[in-house]
Amino acid sequence: MDILTLEASAMSYPVNSSSIIEKRYKDAKESYARLGVDSDKALKLLAKISISMHCWQGDDVGGFEVKDSKLSGGIMATGGFPGKPRSADELRSDIEKAFSLIPGKHRLNLHAIYLETNGKFVDRDAISVKQFSRWLDWAKERGIKLDFNPTFFSHPKAASGYTLSSQDPAVRSFWVEHGKRCREIAADFAKKLNDISVLNFWIPDGAKDFPADRWSPRSRVMESLDRIFEGKANPKVKEAVEGKLFGIGSEEYVVGSHEFYFAYALTRKKLACLDMGHYHPTETIHDKLSAVLSFMPEALIHVSRPIRWDSDHVVICNDDLINLARELVRGDALDRVFLAPDFFDASINRIGAWVIGMRSLQRALVFALLEPVKQLKALEKEGRGAELLALSEECKELPHGAVWDYFCLRSGVPNGASWLNELRSYEKNVLMKR
């Protein structure tokens, strides 16, 4: 190891005292008050926002199926950082560590492949809540609510690139049964945890090159989904469908396109899921929110960070994320959306990735909640464009960091970069010993 490496490994990240944080917050509160913004009210709103943290960042979308299935279906995790959990117990331990470093009370988003079967193979058309009983017990004990996702990828019956749209009736029936089973599991989550459970459907179906028939697969998906959703919907289960522009192996044609799923969601009274990485590389979703929510009461948002494609990079507090938060706040839509990160990076500490992404989304919400929205809208209404632009720029320099640190202090989690001390300790004492 060279000198720089030695210095980095010995580094301890500073912890600001509560008195310093409280003083900075008092000054920040006065700064915002001069613009008509109540920072105390903003923090109360922030504390109510429960984000659904995704379990699959913790183990590179591996899951715990007994029968090994190679990751496929347009899903790709890169990197090999040490300490990957080898069991659901180890994954739950990592999740708990991540939650301890994130302010607020949050949910957990599970995929169907994270079942526990005591060493027995249970195929996806036969799963039930029984295989998630330990997740339920764990969630009850810790007061965590659970969301759910069917897993239509990484399976021999998805190898053709088609699942619910397959030409083979037996393949379609297999996946329809999987969808029905997942619907039942989400209903059990909602009942046993006494809360809603968001159930999101994404399928990898599509073609690498120009298909001769674009119509039939979409007709089959519609019929398959209608079979899955037969019967009265559980009002506590929020059922969503997720579109995509393209994926690995479906570059030319995606059966479940955005237009298809928006229409399906609207006519079948489901939620549309908007994933930040599922659009054209130059396209962002913040402008779509006012369009979608003009026709639908609620929406699911998968918070991701694409780099040139749906690369699922760890979410950071960039312009895309801030603009998303702004639109939710300016449109008074925070209670009409369900926020769920969707990224996976195996090249860095996986717990660190969770914490960075979750805290970044919260920081973007802090920024948006502290904007003088009434004043900005008034300036626009009066046609005072220069003042509107100038005030928007000035808001970037306001002390929102001091408000964020105060929120962390009040929530009992490390402020600033000091959470990295705990991450490093967990990495040394837990991850590196696996």
The pLDDT of residue 85: 97
Residue 63 lies in a domain: yes
Residue 38 lies in a domain: no
CA distance 353 to 343: 9
pLDDT digits (tens, 9 = 90+) for 89-139: 999 999 999 999 999 999 999 999 999 999 999 999 999 999 999 999 999
Q: b or e along 166-205 (b: 16 or more beta carbons within 10 Å of the residue's beta carbon)?
A: beeeebbebbbbbbbbbbebbbbbbebbebbbbbbbbbbb
Which two tokens mark 64?
A: 């715990």
- Tell me the catalytic residues: 202, 242, 244, 275, 278, 302, 310, 312, 342
Q: Is 116 exposed, middle or buried (0-12, 13-18, 19+ CB in 10 A)?
A: middle
Which residues sit opposite 147 in a β-bridge?
109
Residue 416 lies in a domain: no
- For the chain, the domain total comes to 1
Residue 39 lies in a domain: no
Q: How many CB atoms lie within 10 A of CB 397?
A: 8
CB-hemisphere CA count at 13 Å for 298? 15
Q: Which residue is listed with tokens 């994926």? A: 247
Question: Which CATH number is 245's domain given?
Answer: 3.20.20.150
Which two tokens mark 279?
A: 């659009």
Residue 398 lies in a domain: no
- pTM (2 decimals)? 0.95
The pLDDT of residue 3: 44
Residue 97 lies in a domain: yes
Angle of helix 400-411 relative to helix 350-369, nearest 10 degrees? 120
Residue 70 lies in a domain: yes
The pLDDT of residue 72: 79
CA distance 93 to 129: 21
Residue 11 lies in a domain: no
Range of the domain at 148: 50-366
Q: Mean pLDDT for each 10-residue chunk of the chain (434 residues)?
A: 51 90 98 97 98 97 86 81 97 98 98 97 97 98 98 95 97 98 98 98 97 98 98 93 94 97 98 97 94 97 94 96 98 98 96 98 98 97 97 96 98 96 96 96
